[in-house]
Chain A
Amino acid sequence: DSGVTQTPKHLITATGQRVTLRCSPRSGDLSVYWYQQSLDQGLQFLIQYYNGEERAKGNILERFSAQQFPDLHSELNLSSLELGDSALYFCASSTTGTGNEQFFGPGTRLTVL
């Protein structure tokens, strides 16, 4: 158990819908990262937050957004969903903003039908 929690574990929805994925980092970690894992693209960095502020952005679509709240939990919002958004979404956390030693949650499997 990494100490990072993610909900829900599974999510099935339809195209055009909007969903919210939730992540709680390890106790004491200030940074939260979101990654997408698909069969054809592998593990791709989406976005990083550090202590409530956006720190780095990867190949995150405009339809996707995230935020980190004062209690340090984070939410990833995915809107206007397309079939190709079906993937595993992982949250990771680290102690610092440059923390390469990241600890991953169990992931949310999103299926868009």
Chain B
Amino acid sequence: GQQLNQSPQSMFIQEGEDVSMNCTSSSIFNTWLWYKQDPGEGPVLLIALYKAGELTSNGRLTAQFGITRKDSFLNISASIPSDVGIYFCAGPGGSGNTGKLIFGQGTTLQVKP
């Protein structure tokens, strides 16, 4: 079945550094989503991408829809302590008339003040 692979699995960085993470799929996606999950909370939608090559920003976060439609990237600039959490990529996992999502295994980000 469809799978999403995220890398790296975890990152430990210094406050102020930029962060890059990516997500690859075994099949083509027409939508990519990036979520962030804080400990004990539900995932929060950060960015949604709908077109190959699309580059979308949300504050210090920028995500790109890969041109092959099999990958996506998330960058965080000038990281701060509240960026700590798990970042998930997600994409449609069902047929055209459902909203089923499949998720990557997550990238855990830790920021050292």
A contacts, CB < 8 Å to B: 2, 4, 31, 33, 42-43, 45, 48, 55-56, 58, 90, 92, 94, 96-107
Contacts and interface: CB of A to CB of B under 8 A. Distances in A.
A98 to B, nearest CB: 5
B33 A100 contact: yes
B105 A55 contact: no
B93 A98 contact: no
A58 B106 CA distance: 20
9 contacts: A4-B42, A42-B103, A43-B88, A98-B98, A99-B99, A101-B33, A102-B99, A104-B35, A104-B42
B41 A107 contact: yes
Given A43-B43, A101-B33, 16 more contacts: A43-B88, A43-B90, A43-B103, A45-B100, A48-B99, A48-B100, A55-B99, A58-B93, A97-B97, A98-B97, A98-B99, A100-B31, A100-B33, A102-B99, A104-B44, A106-B42
Nearest to B91: A100
A42 B105 contact: yes
Given A2-B44, A106-B42, A98 B101 contact: no
Given A45-B93, A101-B48, A33 B99 contact: yes
Contacts of B103: 42-43
Nearest to B95: A56
A33 to B, nearest CB: 7
B85 interface: no
8 interchain residue pairs of minimum CB distance: A104-B42, A56-B98, A43-B103, A56-B100, A100-B31, A99-B99, A104-B43, A45-B100
Contacts of B33: 100-101
Contacts of A42: 103-106
A90 B99 contact: no
B42 A45 contact: no
A106 B41 CA distance: 5
A33, A43, A98 interface centre (most CB from chain B within 10 Å) = A43
B78 interface: no
